[in-house]
Amino acid sequence: DSGVTQTPKHLITATGQRVTLRCSPRSGDLSVYWYQQSLDQGLQFLIQYYNGEERAKGNILERFSAQQFPDLHSELNLSSLELGDSALYFCASSGGPPRENTEAFFGQGTRLTVV
């Protein structure tokens, strides 16, 4: 168990809909990362939050948004869903100050299927 919790584990929804994926980081971790992994593909970095603020942005579509709350949990919102958004969405967390708990620990992912 990595200590990172993602809910739900599986999600099936129709095109055009909106969903929210939730991530609770490891206790004490300040950074949260979101990644998208399509079938047999690598990890596409979406966005990173650090202590409540957006820190880095990757190839995140305008239909997608995220936030990190004061309790450090994070949500990834996906709207106007398309078939191509079907993927495994990972959340990862890591510590803050340099040289402390710097590994990124991954949740088990949310498997999103858009039909």
Partner 1 sequence: AQTVTQSQPEMSVQEAETVTLSCTYDTSENNYYLFWYKQPPSRQMILVIRQEAYKQQNATENRFSVNFQKAAKSFSLKISDSQLGDTAMYFCAFMPMEYGNKLVFGAGTILRVKS
Residue 12 in contact with residue 63, Cβ under 8 Å? no
- Shortest distance, CB of residue 89 to partner 1, whole angstroms? 11
CB of 66 to partner 1, least distance (A): 15
| Options 20-28, 59-67, 72-80, 100-108: segment touching partner 1 (CB under 8 A) | 100-108
Closest CB to partner 1 among residues 79, 105:
105
Pairing type for strands 110-114 and 10-13 reads: parallel
CA angle 29, 6, 96 (to 5 degrees): 10
Distance (Å, whole) CA 54 – CA 47: 8
Site track 49-88 with partner 1 (rule: CB under 8 A), x = hit: -xx---xx-------------------------------x
Nearer to partner 1, 22 or 55 (CB): 55
Question: In sequence order, what are the residues at sequence separation of 6 or more whose Cβ sits closer than 8 angstroms to the Cβ of residue 82?
Answer: 15, 114
Q: How far apart are CA 84 and CA 73, in angstroms?
A: 26
| Interacting residues toward partner 1 by CB under 8 A | 30-31, 33, 35, 37, 42-43, 45, 48, 50-51, 55-56, 88, 90, 92, 94, 96-99, 102-106, 108-109
